[in-house]
Chain A
Amino acid sequence: MFLKPQTTKAAPKHTVDPANQPWVEKYRPKTIDDVSAQEHIVAVLQKTLTSSNLPHMLFYGPPGTGKTSTILALSRQLFGPDNFRNRVLELNASDERGIAIVRDKIKNFARQTPRAQTVASDGKVYPCPPYKIIILDEADSMTQDAQSALRRIMETHARITRFCLVCNYVTRIIEPLASRCSKFRFKPLDTSSTSLRLQHISSTEQIPVSLPVIDTLISVSGGDLRRAITYLQSASRLSSSTSPPTEITSQDIHEIAGVIPNPVINSFAKVLGVDIIDDSGMDVDDGGRAKGFDAVRGKVKELMREGYSASQLLSQLHDLIVPHPTLSARQKSQCAMVIAEADKALCDGADEELWVLEVALKVHKFLA
């Protein structure tokens, strides 16, 4: 019975108990000044707050770098809480974006021109410039056709609307559309900004997080702050739900992020003939290079039974081989090539076991 759609479209948005709110939402920057590490963009946008003139915009960059947060914060600062709903339209890939629907929604939205009320209920004054903002989030998943149709729509409504397209890959936005927008490139977050942000969150949440754990978070999330924050919250959930609560360890973070433990990777590499030098500089000697096909295949089957993902496995193997101190440049290149090929195959949907085995057998041969 709960499947009957309600007629009133009242998705209660902010009724979550703040304690249970996902931290990525809770710590989403409220103003553009809160956005870390994108100083250049913030400086430019800051001007639009006073000049009340805004171009169409295209935000692009990797996930979790603050694109959605920035446009939401900017809109909120422009219009304030009361006008936000009738001045800002957010459409994303989860909304039906067949072009007819987009056109309809935009038309309807652009038609009503509500009177701006500059002093908001929170007592603050907002610029409330005389246009509406339409955010097309995840725009790179719109079809080419939809994008071309969007050109016209943008022109028709140019007087009273500003568009903000948000995407990961700027190349997936058709040129005529991209050229109508001011482009803003979001960089992956640098280490120190990420670290500061994470420390801010952990101290506000009053959970003890050691510096090595922060470093681990930074290294597994690769500049994606959303990931880093989600991992931190998951880890804190897990560690606080045991009794007595335990402290978060780097190991926990690896587990949550799906990173394969080093001993597992090392023993795999060892079977393939890679010498593993441990921290003390000693050659670790538990079992050695596999003798033949069956041994290599056995190891691969064992790994697959553990459920490790092939792409993760290959990426960690790659990270072990490339900087390896004793392998020759030629051997490294050969290994890198077969791993690249496997990556492509996996993207095409290939069978994981076959390709992990393929890489294993090839590496085993190159290192003979």
Chain B
Amino acid sequence: MIHLLVSIKQVPDTTNIRIDPETGSLIRKGVPAILNPYDAHAVAAAAEWKRKLGGKITIITMGPPSATLALQECIELGADRGILLSDRKFAGSDTWATSYVLAEAIRKIHEEDPIDLLFFGKQAIDGDTAQVGPGVATRLEFPLITYATNIREINQDEGFVLIERKTELRTEIIRATLPALLTCEKEIAEIPYAALPDLIKSLRYETETWTAEDPVIYDETKIGLKGSPTKVSKTGTPKQHEPGETFKVAEIGLKESVDTVFEKMISNSSVASLWE
């Protein structure tokens, strides 16, 4: 029996974001919240290994009460338990404070029911920092493998994992002792079409909420805005580019369009490096 933990985040669906034509800024209102796509793949990978080895999957997330929906989705994908860390005092946490909050909760879970392998998404699509997974690994002093693309082996008897990870130049195969922490690329597993019993279980899921006092007592100077060293001094909207030239495929034909686009790109030298 194996105990897998996946840490997830609910994020705004950035494929659904529109830009306000007047101010040029993002319209956040009404944007649906989704399970961070990389996290979904991480859960799918955990579910695959649960099927192979038998065992259970715990999901953990920090977020507002509405993040229950993301936990529900993880149950649908095959997870067994979902814990929501939700408290006003957590609000405004940066990646530093967030990794503290998560690490302490995970420590608590690990004490009660030892975890073999921890999964994070590569990064969240709203902040794109890719810092929280590594932050948690460091605090817990677990080996960290980022950008994991494939789990070759989980060997509980000998206490190691074999993981493939992607770098810009090559694929590496890493052996790490358990418990280890992975941050996952989408290739790590395909999202399954959930079985009906899992879907029904997710629909019946009732949130298990942990606060800043219970069951873990947090140091209030280390959480929320107060505990966050990151200071955003100013935000701005990048200047909008002039729209480029438009060629209608319907008017000039497909071949002509492709040729034109290529010519433009090459003459702007924007693809030159690819050709060399």
A binds B: no
